[in-house]
């Protein structure tokens, strides 16, 4: 039986394949692709994070699943991939934010925090006896100047800043929606609706307010908050009604 070409090169994180690939990192990316869909958008009034928690059984309490986390007063993070890995990174991010408060007497910058997390993730691609984190984070917040920022952290430690992006299973569908409809001058209200519309497209009909989380950081007060269930119910009903009316019109 002939072994696959990558066999032998995917046994340890420290071994490159002949074509310069680290297979363990690519496998970690696959774990992210199989995760729930998470979305981040910039608006003129701040940033929005949205996650579909993908509840697979009615016996599960949706509130027990947390996919959007507060890192600092002005920063939140949305995750996709291995939940336990994400929680470990969130805990580290919170420590980094508090260390910055103690050391410098000021809130940590969104980009500074994202780079620290990516530096940590990169070390787990370089040493034997460890594996890469099987999760991606969308780190979003507002800097001191009031500028909204959104960064995507890759399992390899790569860092990219976006105006609007998605991670997880529905990424390609979400990005198609954003390519067509996202505008840089979008308001917070419209950003929430566009994000929910993208989630609706990615969810393929399985769309329920109880399985969705939405976090926002406004530029004026620089405070991270999550939308309460009543507000979220109203938004989701509006999106569902809108999508249904579009379908009826097309028919």
Catalytic residues: 36
Which tokens in the block code for residue 184?
């840089």
Cα–Cα distance, 167 to 50 (Å, whole number): 11
- Integer-rounded Cα Rg, in Å, for the chain is 19
DSSP-derived letter for residue 160 is E
Closest C-alpha to 30, from 82, 71, 76: 82
SS3 label, residue 75: strand
Query: Hey, how many other C-beta atoms are within 10 angstroms of the C-beta on 74?
Result: 25
Cα–Cα distance, 29 to 25 (Å, whole number): 6
Cα–Cα distance, 10 to 26 (Å, whole number): 10
Cα–Cα distance, 18 to 5 (Å, whole number): 10
């Amino acid at each position: 039986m002939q072994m696959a070409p990558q066999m032998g090169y995917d046994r340890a994180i420290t071994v490159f394949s002949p074509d310069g690939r680290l297979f363990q990192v690519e496998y970690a990316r696959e774990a992210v692709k199989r995760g729930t869909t998470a979305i981040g958008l910039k608006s003129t009034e701040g940033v929005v994070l949205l996650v579909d928690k993908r509840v697979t059984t009615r016996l599960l309490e949706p509130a027990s699943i947390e996919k959007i986390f507060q890192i600092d007063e002005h920063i939140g993070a949305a995750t996709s991939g291995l939940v336990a890995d994400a929680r470990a990174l969130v805990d580290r991010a919170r420590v980094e934010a508090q260390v910055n408060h103690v050391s410098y007497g000021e809130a940590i910058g969104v980009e500074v925090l994202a780079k620290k997390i990516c530096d940590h993730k990169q070390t787990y691609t370089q040493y034997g006896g460890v594996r890469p984190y099987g999760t991606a984070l969308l780190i979003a917040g507002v800097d001191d100047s009031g500028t909204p920022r959104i960064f995507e952290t890759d399992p390899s430690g790569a860092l990219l800043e976006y105006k609007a992006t998605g991670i997880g299973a529905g990424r390609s569908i979400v990005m198609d929606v954003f390519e067509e409809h996202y505008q840089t001058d979008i308001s917070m209200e419209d950003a929430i609706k566009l994000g929910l519309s993208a989630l609706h497209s990615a969810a393929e009909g399985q769309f329920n307010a109880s399985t969705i989380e939405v976090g926002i950081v406004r530029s004026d007060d620089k405070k991270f908050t999550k939308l309460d269930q009543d507000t979220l119910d109203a938004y989701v009903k509006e999106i569902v009604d809108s999508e249904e009316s579009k379908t009826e019109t097309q028919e």
